[in-house]
Chains A and B, each alone.
Chain A
Amino acid sequence: MSIEAAKKRADDFLVKAKESAAIFSQLSQEHVDRIVKAVYEAGFKNRVKLAKMAVKETGMGRWEDKVIKNVVGSLFVYEDIKNLKTVGILSDDRETGIMEIAQPIGPILAIIPVTNPTSTVIFKTLIALKARNPIIISPHQKAIGCCVETAKICYEAALKEDAPENCIQWTREEPIDFATFDIKDYYAETQALMSHPKLSLIIATGGGGVVKAAYTSGTPAYGVGSGNVPILIDKSADISFAVKNILISKTFDNGTICASEQSIVVEQSIADAVIKEFKAQGGYFLSEEEIKKVEKVAFDREREIMSAGVVGQSVEKIAQLAGINVPAGTSVLLAPLKGVGDDYPLSSEILCPILAFYVARDFNYAVKTCIDLNFHGGMGHSAGIYANDDGVIKEFSTEMSAGRILVNTPSSQGAIGGIFNKIHTSLTLGCGTAGKNITTDNITAKHLINIQRVARRRGNERFSNFDANLFYDESLSTDEILRKFNLNY
């Protein structure tokens, strides 16, 4: 596809989206809320069908866990945003004289990842519509079928509540035939959409390449960063509880959530107890020789990232790929490592049931190991700690560069909110400037409105009573000016 053809295609989408945005801008809060409720209900109703479609098409994860993701993307997101005011006057403070008015931002392009496709479509659609913005769904090339089906279900439900036409669009109708399709065309299409002048915002959830493309497109964007989540088990932790929760999280959808645990760090004094507990709960500790075999299949040395072939795969599949034997019923593979960095591939982010395992001689060394892991590709994302000592929790949290620090909580489900804590439910996790994002927030509907501030006149008494000419007098010291400025105040 030529660049001109890609631009023309993008233009067709954006002309419709812009018209939809115009109509959307007139809708009342009550009308918007009816649309959002209908879309959530439709997504929720189809949670199982869409989960199975996603697993079948992508070959990643477990359908049962994808169902839970769809529940999070529909029900939990809806519950989180349903009472949020996104239309009209948000606040009016007579004392400051400031009134805040919500305005929609306009057409949004939603980049959908292969790891959480249908749930992310429902989630992004709900938050976009709640803020009166049309959305264009751009699925990962390997998840087109399930994403389009999800988008259609949402659109049909929205139209039944008299939503604006084209408030939900999708960039393809049918899955790509990879035998005949040039993937460069796909990138060209996405690029043309991202840089289209009528597009207001991109919400880019996916790998580093697509997020960077979004940020460099010239259109405002919310992106995500890569994770490399360290988990510290402190000696004050309930070890059995900690291991159980880590396994609940790391095995969830075969580890496809970017907030899932990547490394476990324990102090020497409790190491034996933790190892024993992991073994009792189905963890398998790899030998040095097995680690080398697993590294080869789990990490792409050339590209310095995890291998796509293991993402979202089961322990059995990974063991088979690596040519190792693990006991039946093994839940995760644990790799005891001596260091962090390029010489230790399993210390990097790998979205499947593999955990690096570190023993540190004391708490300080444990925190320092977590810092190394955090800075090895996971800055700004998430970290976790199991402890029953608030001082330890605060000390750990202060040292981490992470948007979310999960305490005594499975990090996969904890980071996305709504299940184990009260942070906003989201499938797009901001990683702050450390992760090259603009915010550490969990992205939700409140990020998709422009807030106008009507500023009524409220005089600054000190300025009114002050002779402003004194500001021009260089012979006066700052103290002298301030004394006069603050006189009788």
Chain B
Amino acid sequence: MSSPSLTLPSPAPAAARKRRVLEILGALAIAGTYIYLVLNQPADITGGPGSASALIALSGFLVGAILLVVAVLPTLPTSTMVLIPVALVLNIVLGQFVGSTLVPFYLDAIGTVLIAVLAGPAAGAATGALSSIVWSFFNPTVLPFAAGAALIGCLAGLAARYGLFRRFYLAPVAGFLTGIIGGVVSAPVAAFVFGGTSGVATGAIVSAFRSMGDTLLAAITKQALISDPMDKAIVFAAVAVLVYALPRRASLQFPFVRRHRVLAGKAPEQGS
């Protein structure tokens, strides 16, 4: 019969358990850091820059993101691995472009969400984190947002898994909700690591809240609640347009798309 070298053995379950543990640890690191920062924030901001909070935000979120990458990356098939650089190119090219304009949006997650829809939440999370890591090669300020980007990828994958990309109008709704969660989680990074936001337009919104006497974290969280949900709604809608424009053979090569019937049978009608 068949010689073993030409065929692959069935995948072993033991390795999967170890990876699941790493995933949970990563998620715990991110959640724990967030809770600690929110509980401890008031005393901190006036204590001057470089305070312990910046270090805790940085290390907690980074460790969490790295654990997620370590857990997920080795499990991805080559067909997903080669798509990650494509996603990163889309993220960086669009993000760099929009960040330089005076629009209070980022649009730096189109590639991440695209992967999440095609390959699932785990791949989406890893792509989000890697996107921040690789982008920091040109712009080190995005590195601390790796955990937030991973969360967006994971939530987008879950939205796809539960059929929110089957109807064109549901995608922006899912994006809006994802944006709320993502914005709230990323706000402490902006507040404690940067002491503000990295764009002028978003900075103006924060200033408005600060002038009403909000704490820095509250002001940035409110700004995030204004920008992020709209931003992610636009991103999810754009990704829905893109995945339905892909030839079916291309999208159906991904087992995640087939198994969970991510896309509707036929492209839904949408305004052009």
A and B co-occur in one complex: no
Interface residues of B, Cβ cutoff 8 Å to A: none
Interface residues of A, Cβ cutoff 8 Å to B: none
